[in-house]
Amino acid sequence: MISFDEQTQVFHLRNDRFSYVFEVARGRYLLHRYWGRPLHAFRGSAELPALDRAFSPQPEDYENERTFSLDVLPQELSMQGHGDFRIPSLGVVLPDGTDVIDLFYDGYRILRGKPGLQGLPALYAQEDEAETLEVTLRDPRGRLKVVLSYTVFAGDGVLTRSVRIENTGEAPLRLKQAASFCVDFPDHAFDRLSLYGGHAAERSLERCRLLRGIEETASARGASSHQQSPFLALARPETGELAGEVYAFSLIYSGSFSMKTEVEQFGTTRVVAGLNPADFSWQLQPGEVFQTPEVVCVYAADGLNGMSQAFHAAYCKHLLRGKYRHAVRPILVNNWEATYFDFDDEKMDALAACAADLGLELLVLDDGWFGHRNDDNTSLGDWTVNRKKLKGGIEGVAASAHRRGLKFGLWFEPEMVSKDSDLYRAHPDWVLRAPDAPMSFGRHQLVLDLSRPEVQDYIVACVSKILETGVVDYVKWDFNRHLTEAFSAGRTPERQGETKHRYVLGLYAVLERITQAFPDVLFESCSGGGGRFDAAMLYYMPQTWTSDDTDAVCRQAIQTGTSYVFPPLTMGAHVSVVPNHQVGRVTPMQTRAFTAMMGCYGYELDITQLSEEEKQEVRAQVALYKRLRPTLQLGTFTRLLTPFDGTKNETAWMFTSEDAREVAVFYFKTLAEPATPIRRLRLAGLDPDARYTFREYYPAQTLSHDSLGMARQSLAGKTFYGDELMQEGINVEKIDADFTAYLWVLEKEA
């Protein structure tokens, strides 16, 4: 998979999905040469331009060679100072205050498998699944060593890269930038894709023509954020969901990040991705090493679905860990939208009884069970049960669930503290704050300083104490504000710029300790919904609450947006009450259910208040979901229609089981239209030579009426070859209501 040609000094990283090539030029410089479809061999048919470019400087050793300038050469690691004026990926300040440092190629090694990253989550692989290339660069004056790590996975369309920076000198250095990845493309004929949003409106797809100059997708919130996601893609303008070239980047990091593109004067494009340099600085003492987060890079020749499927496969195989890595997830009922803070033993017991009756599998007790938290003003940090609400304690609620054959889950928000809490009164210095400056509050709460070991220990002890009772099967780990005044009491002034990154490292240390100590617990991360839906959190917790918006129409967009990077198996998705609590919309129960069936399914409403007819419908949904769950959660996901293009009025998703035998197709239409066009839905990814039979069909609102609705469908029981279903497609029957949802289930002949 990885080779180095001594003669041409070319590194060629290749599998059956892509080739990635760079060379050592003049024995010193790492120049990027190719990334795209796999090549037999790289011989340099397109030579690097050797032109005398005005205002592009020469390094001193090449003063008389005016066609040689770092400003125009494609770099694997960009630095300012010697004449590359484009975005740098590494910035090092020397003790004399200058930031000009040479880094020359020094050697390489190729390893089987993939070493872990110190203190950071990363993709993992067995020895026979991947190869890793480590290329070393050194400062000729012995002050700095930099190692670029690239991993190629057999059969997976992803390439990872990270950077290790070591102070090999005798004086401290300051890192002002330490990006994980840098690449230069020879042209700029791209659309730029990113995921933007806000609280309860996460991950909408933005697709615009890549502009000249610098564009940035970033967070400076100390979290990967609702607002922008650590994802960027460059797609050819003609690239669609099912065809065309795309390059994409997903950062395994939960804090402030930056993903920049620069189209420079000669029309080439640079991408730099990693930690946000505007929110970072780091003192590197002699002998110390700094490890950057990892970027997962995809080249796909088969459209945006090809890109997403490469991310999904890699994240399922090489990122998720533990007992639930490749296991179906329980159907839950969560009491948050059912009761908010207003619950007690009796209410929880009633929910448990009803959940068991409906066939649900997990009862989750959300916020409000500890301290005297009857609203969001108080008690974060005091993780002792409120006996006024729960006379039998956590054990009592858990027993009520377990007795009925349900698992039991509990909410925590361990990184936070309320001003009104015993913890804050005892340790006011444990919060992030600037000395002699007012503090900013978010939801009345402050952020604990997770960069401090004693705070990490406190969190581990509090959560462990409850999990050690053995009655908690699931944890929802919430995080409901972003970092302000990110300074740490006791840290020296020159190290204060490290606090946000040290916070994230502290969080990872805490999560590693807790998740390893309780391997049977299913963890779901959350941040006011999907404010920290990133690959790093998924390394510790294999699912994330996708959004605080539970409206079906909004969720179709949020989940579709999330699917550009993350597989359905990682997305928490629940059926909630109507009128919806976030947007007031009234949608049919079936539409809410079919929308939520895309992810880790559950109910988040007061199920005890459902009418008998509605309960019947829920039982039917639950039974259907249990039947389809392996296909929906563990199969291959394909977007057929997205709410981001076309009429913005339709969404269609397709799931194919791991053995390719079962196919489920969901279609949603937001608003009904007069003179309605007939929607022809073309399926994708089928075997053109295989025969598929329509086994089940659920037209709009079927589950609330008769049983399977097959009678209304002319396709029922009919068999077609895959090629016809993909080329000719099927018709969606006429729609005469808003917010409708359809489902077809097909079976492939053995």
Closest to 253 in 3D by CA, of 589, 505, 21, 530: 505
Nearest distance from residue 330's CB to ligand DGJ, in Å? Answer: 17
Which CB atom, from 312 or from 574, has the smaller least distance to ligand DGJ? 574
For residues 439 and 426, give the distance between their C-alpha atoms in angstroms, rounded to a whole number.
17
Nearer to ligand DGJ, 316 or 332 (CB): 332
Q: Locate 447 and state its tokens.
A: 């952020």
The distance of closest approach from Cβ of residue 207 to ligand DGJ in the complex, given in angstroms and rounded to an integer, is: 28
Minimum CB–partner distance for residue 565 and ligand DGJ (Å): 20
User: Residue 307 is encoded by which pair of tokens?
Assistant: 């890109």
Nearest residue to ligand DGJ, by Cβ distance, number only: 367
CA neighbor of 362 nearest in space, from 277, 475, 232: 475
Q: Note whether 320 and 277 are within 8 A (CB).
A: no
Residue 537 contacts by C-beta under 8 Å, 6 or more apart in sequence? 224, 254, 525, 544
- Round to whole Å and give the CA distance between 270 and 196: 21
Long-range contacts of 341-344 (CB under 8 A, 24+ apart): 341/367, 341/368, 341/373, 341/374, 341/375, 341/376, 342/374, 343/368, 343/389, 344/389, 344/390, 344/391
Name, in order, each residue with C-beta under 8 angstroms of 93's C-beta and a sequence gap of 6 or more. 99, 173, 174, 175, 176
Phi-psi label, residue 444: left if phi above 0, alpha if psi -120 to 50, beta otherwise: left
CB of 58 to ligand DGJ, least distance (A): 55
User: In this structure, are residues 640 and 620 in contact, taking their beta carbons and an 8 Å threshold?
Assistant: no
- State how far the Cα of 707 lies from the Cα of 148, in Å rounded to an integer: 59
74 vs 197, beta carbon nearer ligand DGJ: 197
Using CA atoms, how far residue 660 sits from 313, 359, 684, in Å, is 15, 27, 12
Please, which residue, 444 or 627, has the CB nearer to ligand DGJ?
A: 444
Say whether 478 is catalytic.
Answer: yes
CA distance 493 to 430: 17
Q: How far apart are CA 690 and CA 699, in angstroms?
A: 25
Least distance CB 336 / ligand DGJ (angstroms):
5
Q: Give 239 or 480: the residue with its C-beta nearer to ligand DGJ.
A: 480
Q: Does the annotation mark 645 as catalytic?
A: no
Nearer to ligand DGJ, 139 or 524 (CB): 524
| Contacts to ligand DGJ by CB under 6 A | 336, 366-367, 411, 478, 480, 526, 528-529, 545, 548
Report the relative pairing of strands 679-681 and 730-732 from DSSP bridges: antiparallel
Tokens standing for residue 481: 């504000």
Task: Choose the catalytic residue: 99, 184, 420, 548.
Answer: 548
Least distance in Å: CB of 370 to ligand DGJ? Answer: 12
Q: How far is 259 from 272, CA to CA, in rounded Å?
A: 6
Q: Give me the least distance between CB of 572 and ligand DGJ, in Å please.
A: 9
R_g of the chain computed on alpha carbons: 27
- The residue (of 528 and 709) whose beta carbon lies closer to ligand DGJ is 528
Q: Which is nearer to ligand DGJ, 478 or 551 (CB)?
A: 478
Residue 447: CB partners within 8 Å, gap ≥ 6? Answer: 222, 415, 416, 417, 431, 432, 481, 483, 484, 503
Complex with ligand DGJ: residue 302 or 551, whichever CB lies closer? 551
Q: Which of 478, 534, 549, 551 is the catalytic position?
A: 478
Cβ at position 527, least distance to ligand DGJ in Å: 7
Following DSSP, what letter does each residue of 601-631 receive, concatenated? EEEES-GGGS-HHHHHHHHHHHHHHHHHHHH
Q: How far is CA 69 from CA 91, 92, 103, 296, in A?
A: 19, 21, 15, 30
CA dihedral 377, 381, 386, 392 (to 10 degrees): 150
- Comparing CB distances to ligand DGJ, the nearer of 147 and 365 is 365
Active site residues: 478, 548
